[in-house]
Copies of this chain bind each other. A is one copy, B any other.
Amino acid sequence: MPQGEFELIARYFSRLGAERADVRIGVGDDGAVVMPPSSRELVVVMDSLLEGVHFPAGSPAASIGHRSFAVNLSDLAAMGAEPAWALLALTLPSADEEWLAQFSRAAGDLCRKHGVALIGGDTTRGPLAATVTMVGIAPIGVALERKGGQVGDAIFVSGSPGDSAAGLALEQGRLHVADAMSAQILRDRFLFPTPRCGIGVALRGLASACIDVSDGLGGDLEKLCAASGCGAEVDAAALPVSEALLSAVGREAAREYALTGGEDYELLFTVPLARLGAMTSAIARGLGPVKRIGSLVAGKGVKVFARGGVMQFSGSGFDHFAT
């Protein structure tokens, strides 16, 4: 980038996010210097968002700024880590000041909310893409993994999966919804997903396995099952679909969005039966929106039971009402 553009960009990213006492040298040198807490493990995640792949061309800058950090916060949540530091590699076709202002404001708001300091990164001219690395902190040995689920464990999911995929379909004009309020709720669920950091941290010692839902509940549950060496049975009637999604597309399509939609950034996790009492207490104390949707079973693969039959997950989607 030309010198003037570098300075413009530097202005927007030099002090983004939370102020943290453990950051000794932040943005501006060859590297950042941070002081990790003693006797803690670090969880490190990295996710890229590309225009035309992870968001439609012309998406609002605020949404891209929010999502770039939200998807990484969600990965940290899935591991049960408290977010701490982030780096941003941003590739831009040009340095548009209004775009940078909106991107950095949304990213900064989300980072401050979660106590994350932006400590470094890189800016390059090229096709629009944002790659974020985030580092979180967890007590030794307690980070949640995809493996660890056991036959009999209860399966839970946070929030209302499916909203985001319907919101993306609305953004892309593939879906039309008469109810303007429902449409706006669904769009916002795609544009500004809520990373479940508080729930993730609270699940340490409670959940036996955890993954965040980025590729669709069915596919991500299959990954959790494969890592845990078991299968899963899900009750379609228990899927927590939102009022907005129900009103927008009806019950059948809502379940399909919930199971195969993706980009939800909800947590999908398992809880041993012996800890269901503790789980109920945590929910009563305000854990957040989580709902039991099924159980881990012997065998492999994901089956969804609905009135009228069983849907079998097949890798790329569900074969409906197979038996």
Residues of A with Cβ closer than 8 Å to B?
Answer: 3, 24-25, 29-36, 38-48, 50, 52-54, 75-76, 78-79, 81, 85, 87-89, 91, 119-122, 124-127, 129, 131, 133, 135-136, 138, 140, 143, 145-146, 210-212, 227, 315-316
Contact = CB atoms under 8 A, between A and B. Distances in A.
A-B pairs, top 4 by smallest CB distance, nearest first, are: A31-B45, A133-B133, A30-B78, A46-B87
A315 B140 CA distance: 49
Nearest to A210: B30
Contact of A53 (B42, B44, B89, B126): B126
A24 B127 CA distance: 35
10 contacts: A30-B210, A33-B44, A34-B44, A36-B42, A44-B135, A46-B87, A46-B122, A48-B91, A53-B124, A89-B131
Nearest to A54: B124
Nearest to A40: B36
A223 to B, nearest CB: 10
Contacts of A212: 30
Given A89-B89, A124-B53, A131-B89, A145 B25 contact: yes
B125 A29 contact: no
Interface of A is mostly: strand
A119 to B, nearest CB: 6
Contacts of A34: 41-42, 44
A40 B211 CA distance: 31
So how many copies of this chain end up in the complex?
2
B44 A31 contact: yes
A48 B143 CA distance: 29
A43 B53 contact: no
A121 B133 CA distance: 9
A170 B258 CA distance: 55
B125 A53 contact: yes
A131 B120 contact: no
A33 B43 contact: yes
Given A30-B212, A31-B76, A138-B33, A126 B50 contact: yes
B78 A46 contact: no
Given A91-B129, A133-B87, A121 B46 contact: yes
A34 to B, nearest CB: 5
Given A25-B145, A87-B133, A35 B140 contact: yes
A87 B46 CA distance: 7
Contacts of A129: 91, 126, 129
Contact of A25 (B47, B50, B143): B143
A53 B125 CA distance: 8
